[in-house]
């Protein structure tokens, strides 16, 4: 099977590309250049792709031409502007990338002869957030107050409309929670901030430590995507699907910081500095997903509980200091497959 992954140079895209390659699939990618410090670069993933295309998905004609040249069996659309704080700084670019970029990718698939499935990745933040402790269901109202959340909700709605209007190939939407794991170096994300601070013997600065999020390991999330694609190929399932941890595993930002400090072996007297008062951007206090649909119909479950999610993540970063990032990533993919 030949997979085309947009956003293949990003954090989740890199893990997914390597996972699919290890499973024996052909993998191609369309994305911007990777950040100088990224899993893609650290793991030297350049050699695993049939086509490694560097392109902005806002270019409609260029995307269509390249997608046709690649002619994939499955398209997984991950490319996005993924950061809330960045969306406040560059809102128009965020909307252009997340909404119009998604439509450009979908339009580029309309005349593909071999296409068997399309999976569009949005986010847990597409839901209209009411700060409730119950997890949001796929049927709940979509919304979004910040530019990132609103742009992804708009992309989600536009994808549903596009499929109803023009879709001939099975299409599904995956909405995942806060994904963590080794190799994420993005700015303004909790785990990378902790790693950078603890590696330099600094006290990390944390925002909103009491906020509750659906934390899960990247491999649990990607396993859900793969199971959904398998179901699309075998039974032509469609629609929206949540992938988040069991809500009995819900944890705050502070819980993550404390557990990560323990796993890292951090011995400083102060684990973090609370910078919430200096934050001018809006954050939801509670955000959880109800993933019972995926558990019931796809047989998907979390393989890694909260404690192992944190320990696997800390171990990846610590080993990557002196070992091959590619080998560490491959080892964790193989170990995950044995669980």
Structure confidence at residue 134 (pLDDT): 87
pLDDT above 90 for 23: yes
Structure confidence at residue 270 (pLDDT): 83
Q: Specify the pTM.
A: 0.95
**Per-residue pLDDT tens for 110-135?**
989 999 999 999 999 999 988 888 89
Mean pLDDT of 13-37: 97
Alpha carbon distance 68, 13 (integer Å): 20
**Per-residue pLDDT tens for 134-167?**
899 999 999 999 999 999 999 999 999 999 999 9
Structure confidence at residue 281 (pLDDT): 66
pLDDT above 70 for 280: no
Q: Report the CATH architecture of 2-338.
A: 3-Layer(aba) Sandwich (3.40)
Structure confidence at residue 133 (pLDDT): 80
Mean pLDDT of 255-275: 88
Per the prediction, the chain carries an average pLDDT of 94
Burial grade of 120 (CB within 10 A; 0-12, 13-18, 19 or more): buried
Structure confidence at residue 287 (pLDDT): 87
């Amino acid at each position: 099977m030949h997979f085309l992954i947009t956003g293949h140079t990003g954090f989740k895209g890199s893990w997914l590309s390597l996972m699919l390659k290890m499973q024996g699939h052909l993998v191609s990618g369309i994305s911007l250049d990777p950040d100088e410090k990224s899993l893609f670069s650290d793991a030297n993933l350049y050699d695993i792709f049939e086509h490694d295309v560097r392109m902005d998905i806002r270019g409609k004609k260029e995307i269509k031409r390249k997608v046709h040249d690649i002619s994939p069996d499955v398209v997984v659309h991950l490319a996005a502007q993924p950061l809330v704080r960045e969306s406040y700084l560059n809102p128009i670019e965020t909307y252009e990338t997340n909404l119009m970029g998604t439509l450009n990718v979908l339009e580029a698939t309309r005349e593909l002869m071999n296409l068997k499935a399309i999976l569009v990745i949005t986010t847990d933040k597409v839901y209209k957030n009411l700060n409730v402790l119950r997890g949001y269901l796929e049927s709940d109202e979509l919304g979004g107050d910040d530019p990132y959340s609103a742009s992804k909700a708009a992309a989600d709605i536009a994808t549903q409309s596009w499929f109803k209007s023009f879709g001939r190939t099975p299409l599904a939407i995956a909405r995942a929670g806060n994904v963590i794991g080794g190799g994420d170096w993005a700015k303004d994300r909790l785990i990378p901030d902790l790693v950078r601070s603890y590696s330099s013997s600094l006290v990390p600065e944390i925002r909103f430590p009491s906020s509750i999020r659906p934390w899960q390991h990247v491999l649990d999330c990607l396993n859900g995507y793969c199971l959904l694609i398998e179901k699309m190929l075998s039974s032509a399932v469609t629609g929206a699907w949540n992938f988040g941890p069991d809500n009995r595993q819900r944890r705050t930002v502070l819980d993550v910081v404390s557990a990560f400090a323990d796993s890292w072996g951090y011995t400083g007297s102060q684990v973090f500095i609370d910078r919430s008062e200096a934050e001018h951007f809006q954050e939801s206090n509670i955000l959880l997903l109800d993933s019972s649909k995926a558990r019931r119909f796809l047989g998907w479950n979390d393989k890694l509980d909260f404690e192992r999610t944190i320990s696997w993540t800390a171990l990846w970063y610590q080993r990557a200091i002196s070992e091959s990032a590619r080998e560490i990533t491959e080892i964790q993919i193989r170990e995950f497959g044995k669980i």
